[in-house]
Amino acid sequence: MTHFVVPDSVHTTSEDDGGLVLLNVATGQWHKLNRTGNELCTEICAGGLDIAVEIFVSRYPRESPEGIRVHAEELLSALVERGLLEPEALVRGSGGVPIALAPRTRVGLRPRLVAAVALPLALVLLWLPFRVTVKGFKVVKRGRARRPATKAEALQALAAAKRVSRFHPGRVACLELSLTAALTAALRGASVQWCLGVASDPQAFHAWIEADGEPVTDPFDDPIPTTYQRVLAV
């Protein structure tokens, strides 16, 4: 049985309504669990996935045991994928995710190798003045991307970028992650748009990639349309 713990890079605080706010200082991203999610996460850390499911089945007898297990596995997979939980004895499968909790988008060795090149390139470009960053990405995209990326290719580029970003000791937030994904796609010969946008209430900025005019995001990410207005697409 695999036990999970909150890594040192994640800081948490409880809320009055029973929810939990988590800050991953490695990525600079904030996350929030509602009361039920917090309770489920606590039980997973205390006794493992199977014990947590048993406790919730007895706690919520009107709910389907199969449905509770599906929700528990989805939550655990999402927490592990975002670096908010990690196995005490890390059993590595594809890219460091536990074998029983493989990510939704499978990523082969080749995309990961390309993303391992794209991440430092993205970090260097973002260190430069932003106009140079944009110009540099355009040069790579124009020189390497021969055709528009499919949605599946864009998702794989994003998944590869997320995978390699876990091993970077510094901050990798949406700006770094999206540019890494866009560069990964371009270096593999496929073109995506690198987009930056803003939300007005509350004020927030975000970066993402698009394929065929549609945002490409993780299923657990906030939706781009209606939340963010695109300001720049490269």
Distance CA 158, CA 149 (A): 12
Distance CA 201, CA 198 (A): 10
The pLDDT value recorded for residue 135 is: 93
The pLDDT value recorded for residue 1 is: 54
| Closest C-alpha among 180, 176, 209 to residue 194 | 209
The pLDDT value recorded for residue 200 is: 65
Residue pair 217/224 in contact by the 8 Å Cβ criterion: yes
First to last CA, the chain: 46
The pLDDT value recorded for residue 226 is: 64
The pLDDT value recorded for residue 50 is: 87
The pLDDT value recorded for residue 49 is: 86
Beta bridge partners of 24: 10, 29
Q: Does this model's pTM top 0.85? A: no
User: What is the token pair recorded at 201?
Assistant: 């209430």
The pLDDT value recorded for residue 85 is: 87
Cα-Cα-Cα-Cα dihedral sign, residues 90, 18, 224, 9: negative
pLDDT along the chain (234 residues), means of 10: 78 86 80 89 87 91 88 87 74 34 60 91 92 93 92 89 85 87 94 85 77 77 67 86
